[in-house]
């Protein structure tokens, strides 16, 4: 018979062992291992990472090395802003006694890594700032952006009124789309417009497919839902490997929008491949797609870009 208590006991013991290992490794073994390797190679951990790894794996390991360092200068390097990166690199080299003549590439590599690390943090703040901005029907720029979305998706059909049942034609729920932007604010609209403007033919194709009699879905609502997915992946830091590989320098809002476009295109393919029985199962398939993307993002070499 299955002994639930014994299984739980084994799980608890495993957790305790892992916690003890992390404690001893962080406080004792790591220090002596780094010291021993420095004596053997003549290089600090940061230099060894640059010699061994590339791409996202390099930046990720540099970030961890800085974060878990007991040296305050190195710890603070992960929080440095773009304007202070050059000075920060100099401080790191001074702290670690790195001779720029003996290791000419260190300065270049460290600067690139710090720009990616600080850039990711700044990108999240920028995206969060836009997300927190609600759609305002009294804001002329917001209204123009909404009408731009209609004109991009329905170029041959005139919108008869600002508040109209026609909005359902592009997948909004009610007569006034502003109510659908509550969760993601103006960010949801900006994403929809970006995809429609930069991938117009694909947007028309997906909008047409979304009207399928059996497998149809609400194009705009799903688009806003995918904005939430892109935002949550950014917030949880799941996008780090992708952006560290995709962007050699500082990731920007443009790169976030590009990832959103990838999600829109891939979700539509996924939906029609899965052939759900009904739109009522949307949340189940949405989560299934979300898990698929999260698995892809675990790969050090990942770069999820829209290729048409």
| Domain residue ranges of the chain, discontinuous segments joined by + | 4-121, 133-298
Query: Of 154, 144, 236, 158, which is closest to residue 190 (Cα–Cα)?
Result: 144
Return d(Cα 11, Cα 15) in angstroms, integer.
6
Query: Of 198, 202, 183, 205, which is closest to residue 255 (Cα–Cα)?
Result: 198
Q: Is 197:152 a contact under the CB 8 Å cutoff?
A: yes
Return d(Cα 81, Cα 86) in angstroms, integer.
10
Q: Is 78:60 a contact under the CB 8 Å cutoff?
A: no
pLDDT in tens, the chain (308 residues): 455 556 556 667 666 666 665 555 555 555 555 555 555 555 789 999 999 999 999 999 999 999 988 899 999 999 999 999 999 999 999 999 999 888 889 999 999 999 999 999 999 999 999 999 999 999 999 999 999 999 999 999 999 999 999 999 999 998 999 999 988 999 999 999 999 999 999 999 999 999 999 999 999 999 999 999 999 999 999 999 999 999 988 999 999 999 999 999 999 999 999 999 989 999 999 999 999 999 999 999 999 999 88
Positive or negative, the CA dihedral 180, 183, 185, 188 is: negative
**How confident is the model at residue 1, as a pLDDT?**
45
Q: Is 45:63 a contact under the CB 8 Å cutoff?
A: no
Structure token pair of residue 236: 């949880």
**How confident is the model at residue 43, as a pLDDT?**
79
Helix orientation angle between 200-209 and 186-198, rounded to the nearest 10 degrees = 110
Q: Is 185:131 a contact under the CB 8 Å cutoff?
A: yes
């Amino acid at each position: 018979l299955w002994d639930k208590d014994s299984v739980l006991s084994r799980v608890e013991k495993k957790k305790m062992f892992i916690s003890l290992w992390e404690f001893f490794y962080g406080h004792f073994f790591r220090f002596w291992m780094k010291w021993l390797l420095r004596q053997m190679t003549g290089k600090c951990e940061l230099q060894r990472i640059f010699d061994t790894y590339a791409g996202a794996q390099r930046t990720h390991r540099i970030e961890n090395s800085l974060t878990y360092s007991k040296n305050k200068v190195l710890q603070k390097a992960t929080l440095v802003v773009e304007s202070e990166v050059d000075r920060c690199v100099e401080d790191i080299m001074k702290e670690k006694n790195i001779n720029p003549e003996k290791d000419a590439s260190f300065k270049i590599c460290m600067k690139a890594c710090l720009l990616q690390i600080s850039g990711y943090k700044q990108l999240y703040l920028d995206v969060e700032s836009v997300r927190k901005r609600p759609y305002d029907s009294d804001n002329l720029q917001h209204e123009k952006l909404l009408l731009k979305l209609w004109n991009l998706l329905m170029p041959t059909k005139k919108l008869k009124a600002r508040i109209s049942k026609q909005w359902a034609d592009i997948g909004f729920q009610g007569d006034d789309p502003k109510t659908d932007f509550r969760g993601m604010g103006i960010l949801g609209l900006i994403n929809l417009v970006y995809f429609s403007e930069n991938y117009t033919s694909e947007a028309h194709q997906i909008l047409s497919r979304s009207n399928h009699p059996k497998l149809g879905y609400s194009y705009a609502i799903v688009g806003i839902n995918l904005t939430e997915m892109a935002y949550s992946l950014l917030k949880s830091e799941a996008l780090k490997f992708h952006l560290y590989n995709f962007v050699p320098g500082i990731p920007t809002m443009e790169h976030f929008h590009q990832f959103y476009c990838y999600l829109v295109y891939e979700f539509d393919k996924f939906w029609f491949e899965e052939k759900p029985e009904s739109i009522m199962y949307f949340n189940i398939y949405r989560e299934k797609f979300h898990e698929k993307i999260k698995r892809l993002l675990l790969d050090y070499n990942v770069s999820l870009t829209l290729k048409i």
